[in-house]
């Protein structure tokens, strides 16, 4: 019975609007966490990963003014997968978002990411 519930919750989350996911850090964290958890441990892993990802995303809601200020700089290439909630490698240079000095960003593997400066954890993937 627990597996049926897990599959139902996963199916419901997949049917949510793509526009809603694009607008919310919490939803993006949940979606990416669910995808990574599902890859690792199937439907139950997807639920756990989605919950953790949502918590990470909820910790930092990024204002649109900040998102629109992140430039498309030259990208660096890393072997690691860039995932919300995971830290960037120490070799990746973090830059200050213009006019929003409390935020940091990097362009990694052709994707702009907003990063929590103290922990280097990715809080939002823009591209």
Crossing angle between the packed helical segments 2-14 and 25-59, to the nearest 10 degrees: 110
Q: Map residue 7 onto helix, strand or coil.
A: helix
Least Cα distance to 85 among 18, 37, 14 occurs for: 37
Place of tokens 């954890």: 121
Domain ranges of the chain: 2-59, 64-125
* 19-76 confidence digits (pLDDT tens): 333 345 566 666 777 777 777 777 767 676 666 666 555 556 889 999 999 999 999 9
Query: Taking the model in full, what pTM does it have?
Result: 0.54
The residue among 1 and 126 whose pLDDT is bigger is 126
């Amino acid at each position: 019975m627990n597996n049926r519930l897990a599959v139902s919750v996963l199916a419901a989350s997949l049917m949510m609007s793509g526009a809603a996911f694009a607008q919310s850090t919490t939803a993006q964290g949940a979606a990416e966490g669910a995808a990574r958890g599902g890859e690792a441990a199937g439907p139950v892993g997807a639920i756990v990963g989605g919950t953790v990802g949502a918590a990470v995303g909820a910790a930092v809601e990024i204002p649109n003014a900040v998102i629109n200020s992140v430039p498309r700089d030259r990208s660096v290439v890393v072997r690691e997968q860039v995932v919300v909630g995971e830290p960037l490698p120490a070799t990746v240079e973090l830059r200050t978002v213009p006019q929003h000095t409390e935020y940091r960003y990097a362009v990694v593997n052709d994707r702009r990411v907003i990063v929590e400066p103290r922990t280097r954890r990715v809080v939002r993937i823009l591209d």
